[in-house]
Amino acid sequence: MSAYRLDAGGLVNRANPLTFTFDGKSYTGFDGDTLASALIANDQMLMGRSFKYHRPRGPVTSGSAEPNALMTIGSGARSEPNVRATVAELYNGLTAVSQNRWPSLAFDLGAVNGLLSPFLGAGFYYKTFMWPAMLWEKLYEPLIRRAAGLGKLTMEADPDRYEKAWAHCDLLVVGSGPAGLMAALSAARAGARVLIADESARFGGSLLSENVVIGGQAASDYAAGLVEELASFPNVTMMPRTTVFGWYDDMVFGAVERVQKHVETPSPDLPVECVWRIVAKRAILASGAEERPLVFGGNDRPGVMTANAARTYLNRYGVAAGSKVAVFTNGGSGYRTAGDLSARGVEVTAIIDARATSTDPAPYGVRVIHGGAVVATRGRNRIDALVAERAGFEEEIACDALAMAGGWSPIVHLMCQRGAKPVWSDAAQAFLAPDVGSGFVAAGSAGCADSIAACLRDGASKAAAFSTELGFAAYAANIPEVEGEYDPDFAPLWYVPGAKDKAFVDFQNDVHVSDLGLAQREGFRHIEHTKRYTTSGMATDQGKLGNVATIGIVAAMRGVSPAEIGTTTFRPFYTPVSMGALAGTSRAEHAAPVRTSPLYGWAKKNGATFVESGLWYRSSWFARDGEKTWRDSVDREVRNVRENAGLCDVSTLGKIEIFGTGAAEFLNRVYSNAFLKLPVGKARYGLMLREDGMVFDDGTTSRLSENHYVMTTTTTYATEVMAHLEFASQTFWPHLDVRFVSSSDQWAQMSLAGPKARIILARIVEDDISDAAMPFLGAKVVTLKGGLKARLFRISFSGELAYELAVPAGYGEAVADAIMQAGREDGICAYGVEALNVLRIEKGFVTHAELEGRTTPDDLGYGKMMAMTKPDFIGKRLSTRFGLTAADRLQLVGLKPVETDKEFMAGAHLLKDGAAATLAGDQGFVSSACYSPTLGHTIGLGLLKSGRERIGEKITVWDGLRGTEVAAEVCLPVFVDPQNTKQHL
C-alpha cells in the first residue's frame, strides 16, 4: 500500500461514507472528498492517460488547474467528459470512467505512441501527413483524432435544465481564501452589498490546506468563523461552487454556479448549472497563487504532484499521497509539505533542494540534499523511485510519491482578459497582475502577498479603500496573529538539465522541453507561435500550470528575461463552461421568443399552416379537404379573392401612432412623396428613402384627425422604421412638435378583399361604407354592429375592392369569426401570406423582394413619387447623384414565359436572348415569381438593365442553381386589371 487515508484529521465528514465507482470498481470515500482525494485515499493514483503518448498519469494538483486527472463522470445522457477529478465533488453513487485508453487504464495499447515519439514531435502532423493532400481529411485526421484525445461526448440530448441570471453588488470578491474572506467581511461590515464567489463547495481556500494557527484557532476553524459571520449579513451573497470565469465590459463578470453537479439525481425544478452575469461596482481578485511543477525527466509519473497538492490532500482530506514521500523543491513550500507529512507520521525519504543552501527547516531526521536535482523517475504506473543527481553523482532513492515545489504564480487570469498583459517581476520571479484601473484589484497571494497574515491584511485594506470610495464608513478590521507560517520564497529553476526521460512542460498536451527547442529552431519564436506549434498551453487547462515554465524555458534558451518573451493571450473562460450552461433556458421552444398575432387562434381553427417570419408565426395558407399540395390551396384562395372575397390576417404590419402640430411637416420630410396636404379621413401610400436615395420601406399613412396620424410599415421593418422616425425627430428636426408610439400590438388587423368585400363588410359595420361615403383610400373610425369602435381603411394590396379593418386585439378573433360568418353565403375564404404574395405579384406591387436596398423609386417605376419640389426630404440630395439617374440601371419589369408551361423562380438571372449562361452577361434577376392562377402560367417581377425600354423583348431566364434556362418575354409589371378598375368598384 502506498497512498492511504489517515486515521484522523482532514475536513471530510467521516460519519458520512460515500460509495462510488471508477472504471467499474467500487470504492468508498467521505462527504467532503473530491473524486481525486477519494481515489488517492484508496491508493488509486493512476487516473488517466496522456493526450498524445498515452503515458500513465495521476493528479498533479488538488484544484482547478489539473491537467491529468480528467475523467468521464455519469452515464447515459448525463455522462460528462473531461471532468477534473480534483474538483469533482464526491457523491453517493458517482460513476467515473477513465479516458483515452484501450483496452484498459492500466494496460493501454496506445502507449506504443511513446515508442514512436521521435516521429511525433511538435508539429509532426503538419510535416508527416501532408501528402497526398486528399488523405488528410479522409484518413490522417480521423486516425490522429482517434489516437489522441480527451473524453467522448454523449450523443444523447441533455436531460437537465440550465439557467442564466443576473446579480448586482457593490463589491465582488473572487475567491474565499484569507484575502477574499477578509475583504468580503470588511466591506460587509461597512455596509456594502458584497458578493463572494468561490469555485469550491467550501469557503476558506488555502486556510483549508495550511497547517497554521490564527488567533489561537486552527486555520480551518478560523475560516469557518469568518464564513459564519459573513452569512449573518443580509447584504452579503455567498456563492460557493461558483467559478468567476470572465471579466467583460462595464464591470460585468461571468460566473458559472454548479448547482446540482454534486448530486446523483438532479431535481428537475432546479438548474444543474447557472451562468451568472455579475454587475459589480468594484471587484477584488483573491484567487490565490498556483504552485508550479518542476520540469525534470519523468516528472509526469503518477505519484508526482505539487507540494501544495500533497499538503492539501493531507490537511484538507486526511489523505497521504504515499507512505514514502520524497520532496523536490526550490523553496520553502517543499519543506512545509515535508514537515506536515512528517508530523502526521508519513515517512519523508529525502528533500532534494535545488538551492545550494537554505534556511528552511527540514523535519527531524529527514535527509536534505542541497544543490541536488531529480533527473529521472522509475516505476510503471506509479513512481517507485527517483534518480537524484548532485555534483555529477547519481543516486536512486526509493519513494512512492514525489512532492515538487517550483515556486508560485499569482492567478491573475481574470485581470488579463480585456487586453492588459501581466507584468513580469524579477523580484517575485512571476508574472503579476497588471494595473487595470482602480475598480478591480488583486489582493492576497493573487496580488503577491507572501504570507497568510499579509493576505488577511491586504484583503481587509483593499476592501476598506473601496468601501470608502463608495461612500460607506470604512471598518477597521481586526487582523489576528498568525502562528506557524513558513517562508514561501523560492529560487528560479525553469528546468533540470540532464533529463533521462521526457521532461514535461505541459502535461495535458504532452509538450516536453525538446518540443520547445524544436519550435525555436524552426522559427516559431514568438510565444504565440510557440504555443500553436507545440500546443503548449492549449486544451481544457489552457496552460494554467505549464505556461510560466514554457515562457521561462524559452527565455532561458534565448538568453533573455521572461519579460521579453511575454505571455500568450488570456481569454475567457478561466475553466471550461458547458454549452448547456451558456445556452441556459434558450433551447427547444424557448430558443427564441415567439410572436403571435391576435388572429393566431382564428387562423388555427380555419386550418392554417404557419410560417416563421422573423419571430412572427404568420398564416401561410389554409388547406381544405382534398387539396394535395400547398399550391392547390393557394391557387384556390387567389381565385376566390378575385371572384368572391377573402379575409387575411395583416396584424403583423407595423403600426405607429403619430401626434403633434408638426406631424404633417415631419411626414412630408420622411416620405419622398407629398404628405403635407393629406386630408383628414384619407390614407396615402408613401415611400421612405434612406439618406443614400435607396428605398427604405413603404406603407400607408392615414390622417385620423388634424394632428393624429397612423402609419403602417412592413412587418419586417416595423422596428427599423420606428427607430428611423425617432432618430429623425431627435437629431434632424427636434424643433418639430411630433411624438410617436408603436401601436402594432393594440390592433388585430384584417384585410377583406374581393368584389364582394363591401357587401360582406356592410353586414357588420353600422356606418355607411358605400363608395361615396368610403371611397378608395378612405380612412376612418367606424362602429361595428354591437358598438365596438374600429378603424377602417380602404386600401388594397391585391388590386381588388379591399378594406383593412383594425379592431382592438382582444376582439380580433371574434370579429374575424363574424366576418367569416357574414361572408359565408358569398363564398368568403381565409387566405394566407402565400396567396397575398401571388395577388400582389399579379398586380406588380412591390415588397422587400424588390425594395432590397439597392433600388431607387425610379428603378421601381415610382419616379413620380419623388416630390422634388419639396424643400427637402430624407434621400433627396443623394438621389440626384450621377449613377442613380443613369438610364442603364436595373428597372422593374414583368416577366412571363414564352411557352406558358415553363416555370422560373426568384433568384434566377436575366440574360440577353442567346447569351451564354454565365454571369459575364448578367442583365438582372428575378425578384419575385409565382404561378398565377388567374393567368394560368408562371409570372415574375424582375430587375432588368434598362428594363422599361425593353418591353416586348425576348430574354433568357437562367437559373444556375437548378440548371434551367427559360425563354421569357419582358412585359409591364402588371398582369391583372392594368387599368386598376377593380379596386375602385
Partner 1 sequence: MALTLLHRHALEDHILGFETSANPNHLSVARRPVIFSVLAHAGQEQAVGLALKAAPDIAPRFCGPAEWLAVSLTAGSETVAGHLSEISGASVVDQSDGKVLMAISGPSVRQILAKCVGVDLHPQAFAPGHSANMLFGHVAVNLARTGPDAFEIITPRSFAGSVYEDLMEMGREFALTASFSGG
Enumerate binding residues for partner 1 (CB under 8 A). Answer: 163-168, 193, 269-271, 277, 279, 585, 589-590, 592-598, 601, 616, 657, 659-660, 707-708, 734-735, 737, 739-741, 743-747, 763-764, 784-786, 788, 808-815, 818, 822
C-alpha 129/C-alpha 404 separation (Å) is 38
To partner 1, the closest distance from the beta carbon of 324 in angstroms equals 50
Residue type, 20: F
To partner 1, the closest distance from the beta carbon of 811 in angstroms equals 5
What element of type H or E holds 929? strand 924-932
Collapse the DSSP code of 685 into the 3-class scheme (helix H, G, I; strand E, B; otherwise coil) and give the result: strand
**Nearer Cβ to partner 1, position 323 or 743?**
743
To partner 1, the closest distance from the beta carbon of 269 in angstroms equals 5
To partner 1, the closest distance from the beta carbon of 807 in angstroms equals 8
**Nearer Cβ to partner 1, position 439 or 810?**
810
Secondary structure letter of residue 327 according to DSSP? E
* C-alpha atoms less than 13 angstroms from C-alpha of 120 in its C-beta half-sphere: 19
Nearest to 581 by CA among 196, 278, 272: 272
- With beta carbons less than 8 A apart as the criterion, state whether 95 and 27 touch: no
To partner 1, the closest distance from the beta carbon of 905 in angstroms equals 32
To partner 1, the closest distance from the beta carbon of 768 in angstroms equals 16
To partner 1, the closest distance from the beta carbon of 616 in angstroms equals 8
To partner 1, the closest distance from the beta carbon of 264 in angstroms equals 19
For every residue of 257-301, DSSP letters joined together read EESSTTSSS--TTS-SEEEEEEEEEEEEE---EEEPPP--TTTTS
- With beta carbons less than 8 A apart as the criterion, state whether 935 and 925 touch: no
Q: Which three cell numbers stand for residue 812?
A: 380580433
C-alpha 166/C-alpha 536 separation (Å) is 35
Nearest to 197 by CA among 183, 218, 210: 183
**Nearer Cβ to partner 1, position 657 or 922?**
657
**Nearer Cβ to partner 1, position 418 or 763?**
763
To partner 1, the closest distance from the beta carbon of 741 in angstroms equals 5
Question: Which residue bears the cell 460607506?
Answer: 472
* C-alpha atoms less than 13 angstroms from C-alpha of 755 in its C-beta half-sphere: 11
Residue type, 13: N
To partner 1, the closest distance from the beta carbon of 715 in angstroms equals 11
- With beta carbons less than 8 A apart as the criterion, state whether 711 and 656 touch: yes
C-alpha 771/C-alpha 521 separation (Å) is 90
- With beta carbons less than 8 A apart as the criterion, state whether 516 and 536 touch: yes
**Nearer Cβ to partner 1, position 661 or 980?**
661
Hey, how many other C-beta atoms are within 10 angstroms of the C-beta on 956? 20
Cα–chain center distance at 945: 44
**Nearer Cβ to partner 1, position 585 or 880?**
585
Collapse the DSSP code of 926 into the 3-class scheme (helix H, G, I; strand E, B; otherwise coil) and give the result: strand
To partner 1, the closest distance from the beta carbon of 167 in angstroms equals 7
**Nearer Cβ to partner 1, position 71 or 274?**
274
**Nearer Cβ to partner 1, position 314 or 704?**
704
To partner 1, the closest distance from the beta carbon of 647 in angstroms equals 16
**Nearer Cβ to partner 1, position 118 or 234?**
234
Q: Which three cell numbers stand for residue 891?
A: 428597372
To partner 1, the closest distance from the beta carbon of 418 in angstroms equals 20
To partner 1, the closest distance from the beta carbon of 612 in angstroms equals 13
Instruction: Region of 82 please: left (phi>0), alpha (psi -120 to 50) or beta.
Output: left
List Cβ<8 Å contacts ≥24 apart for 905-910: 905/929, 905/959, 905/962, 906/849, 906/940, 907/959, 907/961, 908/957, 908/958, 908/959, 908/964, 908/966, 909/957, 909/958, 909/959, 909/960, 910/942, 910/944, 910/945, 910/955, 910/956, 910/957, 910/958
To partner 1, the closest distance from the beta carbon of 755 in angstroms equals 21
**Nearer Cβ to partner 1, position 329 or 715?**
715
**Nearer Cβ to partner 1, position 152 or 168?**
168
**Nearer Cβ to partner 1, position 597 or 923?**
597
**Nearer Cβ to partner 1, position 168 or 962?**
168
What element of type H or E holds 28? strand 25-31
**Nearer Cβ to partner 1, position 28 or 596?**
596
Q: Which three cell numbers stand for residue 146?
A: 482517434
For every residue of 377-427, DSSP letters joined together read EE-SSS--EEEEEETTEEEEEE-SEEEEE--EEE--GGGGTTSPPPEEETT
- HEC states along 817-834? HHHHHHHHHHCCEECCHH
To partner 1, the closest distance from the beta carbon of 166 in angstroms equals 5
What element of type H or E holds 22? strand 13-22
**Nearer Cβ to partner 1, position 616 or 696?**
616
Collapse the DSSP code of 243 into the 3-class scheme (helix H, G, I; strand E, B; otherwise coil) and give the result: strand
C-alpha 582/C-alpha 162 separation (Å) is 8
C-alpha 523/C-alpha 229 separation (Å) is 57
**Nearer Cβ to partner 1, position 423 or 788?**
788
Q: Are β-strands 430-432 and 347-353 bridged in parallel, bridged antiparallel, or unpaired?
A: unpaired
Lateral strand order in the sheet of 616-622: 595-596, 616-622, 608-613
To partner 1, the closest distance from the beta carbon of 815 in angstroms equals 6
C-alpha 580/C-alpha 587 separation (Å) is 9
**Nearer Cβ to partner 1, position 93 or 786?**
786
Q: Which three cell numbers stand for residue 134?
A: 486528399
**Nearer Cβ to partner 1, position 525 or 708?**
708
- With beta carbons less than 8 A apart as the criterion, state whether 181 and 227 touch: yes
C-alpha 210/C-alpha 465 separation (Å) is 28
To partner 1, the closest distance from the beta carbon of 236 in angstroms equals 13
Q: What share of the chain is helix, strand, coil (3-state, %, to 5)?
A: 25, 30, 45
C-alpha 858/C-alpha 673 separation (Å) is 12
